[in-house]
């Protein structure tokens, strides 16, 4: 069997003969996108929706995404909530501690642009002023369905990346 979209692989149905034809890049991509460990980290009310997304109803775990309580073993950072300037430095530090390749979801209006607090003196006007962002999720806060969609978009992005032979700059790395 030949798969173009690795996310469609269903091992139980597709391997009657124990045979799978694909290429290594796609297989690695499949492995990576199916085990996105996101940094267990929330900043404000968006974190409540993040918890709902990880909870049994939306259940991010069914896409292989589980929370990881250390940046050193996390692939994905979900910036969930209002980022103050004081916290922005810490968010950047956490991002820098994550190994490449790494991805960022900016969750909610505050992380996207400062949102409700855009006029505040101490609130960062968008997390992209500090770290590169892959997916922006609008909403105040976004519903769990919206965050799930963002995770699927990250998976789509990973699927089209070449992990091998990526040279000195790791796949997924931003300029």
Partner 1 sequence: MDIEEIERRLREGVPGGIVEIHRAPYSPHLVVDAAKIRDVCRFLRDDPALRFDYLTHLSALDTGATLCTVYRVLSLTHKRTVAMRAYVPRDNPVIDTVSDIWPSAGWFERESFDLMGIEYRGHPDLRRLLLPDDWEGHPLRKDYVDPLRYQDIDNTRDYEI
Q: Can you give the binding site for partner 1, defined by CB under 8 A?
A: 85-86, 88-89, 113-114, 118-119, 121-122, 124-126, 129-130
* β-bridge mates for residue 76, sequence order: 38, 103
Of 81, 83, 89, 75, which Cα lies nearest the Cα of 107? Answer: 81
- Which of 54, 108 has the CB closer to partner 1? 108
The Cα-based distances of 11 to 14, 18, 84 in angstroms read: 5, 9, 45
- Which of 129, 157 has the CB closer to partner 1? 129
Helix (H) or strand (E) holding 29: helix 24-33
**Rounded to the nearest whole angstrom, what is the least distance from the CB of residue 141 to partner 1 in the complex?**
19
- Which of 17, 119 has the CB closer to partner 1? 119
Query: What does DSSP assign to residue 21?
Result: B
- Which of 77, 154 has the CB closer to partner 1? 77
List of residues 6+ apart from 105 with CB closer than 8 A: 76, 77, 78, 79, 133, 134, 135, 136, 137, 147, 150, 151, 154
**Rounded to the nearest whole angstrom, what is the least distance from the CB of residue 126 to partner 1 in the complex?**
7
- Which of 97, 122 has the CB closer to partner 1? 122
**Rounded to the nearest whole angstrom, what is the least distance from the CB of residue 110 to partner 1 in the complex?**
13
**Rounded to the nearest whole angstrom, what is the least distance from the CB of residue 83 to partner 1 in the complex?**
10
**Rounded to the nearest whole angstrom, what is the least distance from the CB of residue 135 to partner 1 in the complex?**
18
């Amino acid at each position: 069997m030949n798969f173009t979209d690795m996310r469609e692989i269903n091992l139980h149905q597709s391997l009657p003969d124990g045979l799978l034809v694909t290429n290594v890049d796609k297989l690695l991509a499949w492995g990576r996108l199916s085990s996105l460990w996101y940094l267990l980290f929330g900043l404000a009310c968006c974190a409540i929706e993040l918890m709902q997304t990880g909870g049994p109803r939306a259940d991010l775990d069914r896409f292989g995404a589980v929370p990881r309580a250390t940046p050193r073993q996390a692939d994905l950072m979900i910036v969930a909530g209002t980022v103050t300037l004081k916290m922005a430095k810490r968010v950047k530090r956490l991002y820098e501690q994550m190994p490449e390749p790494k991805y960022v979801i900016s969750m909610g209006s505050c992380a996207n642009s400062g949102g409700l607090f855009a006029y505040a003196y101490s609130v960062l006007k968008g997390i992209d002023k500090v770290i590169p962002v892959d997916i922006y999720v609008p909403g105040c806060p976004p519903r769990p369905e919206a965050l799930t969609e963002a995770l699927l978009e990250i998976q789509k992005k990973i699927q089209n990346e070449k992990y091998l032979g990526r040279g000195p700059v790791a796949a997924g790395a931003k300029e």
